[in-house]
Structure 1
Amino acid sequence: MMRVDEAKNSDMESLVDLLILLFSQEAEFTPKRDSQRAGLQLILDDPQVGTLFVLKEEDKIIGMVSLLWTISTALGGRVAFLEDMVVDTAWRGRGGGHMLVEHAIAYAKKLTCKRITLLTDTDNLAAHHFYQQFGFQTSVMQPMRLILTDQ
Structure 2
Amino acid sequence: MFVVEEAKLSDIERLIDLLTILFSQEAEFVPNRTLQQTGLQMILNDASIGTIFVLKSDQKIIGMVTLLWTISTALGGKVAFLEDMVVDPLWRGKGGGHALIEHAILYAEKLTCKRITLLTDTDNFKAHHFYQQFGFEASLMQPMRLLLTEK
TM-score, length basis structure 2: 0.98
Note the 1:51-130 alignment, pairs <5 A: 51-130=51-130
Question: Where does structure 1 lack aligned partners over 5 or more consecutive residues?
Answer: none
Note the 1:23-42 alignment, pairs <5 A: 23-42=23-42
How many Å separate the matches in 2 of 1:33 and 1:11?
14
How many Å separate the matches in 2 of 1:65 and 1:28?
18
How many Å separate the matches in 1 of 2:59 and 2:106?
23
By how many angstroms is 1:99 displaced?
0.2
* Secondary structure class of the residue paired with 1:98: helix
By how many angstroms is 1:2 displaced?
1.1
By how many angstroms is 1:8 displaced?
0.3
How many Å separate the matches in 1 of 2:136 and 2:19?
23
After superposition, give the CA deviation of every residue in 1:54-103 in whole Å (9 maximum; x if it has no partner). Answer: 00001110000000000000000000000000000000000000000000
How many Å separate the matches in 1 of 2:57 and 2:9?
18
The number of residue pairs the alignment matches comes to 150
How many Å separate the matches in 1 of 2:106 and 2:70?
17
* Secondary structure class of the residue paired with 2:78: strand
* Secondary structure class of the residue paired with 1:43: helix
Which position in structure 2 is the counterpart of 1:139? 139
TM-score, length basis structure 1: 0.98
Identity of aligned residues (%): 73
Which ranges of 4 or more aligned residues in structure 1 deviate by more than 4 Å?
none
How many Å separate the matches in 2 of 1:149 and 1:94?
40
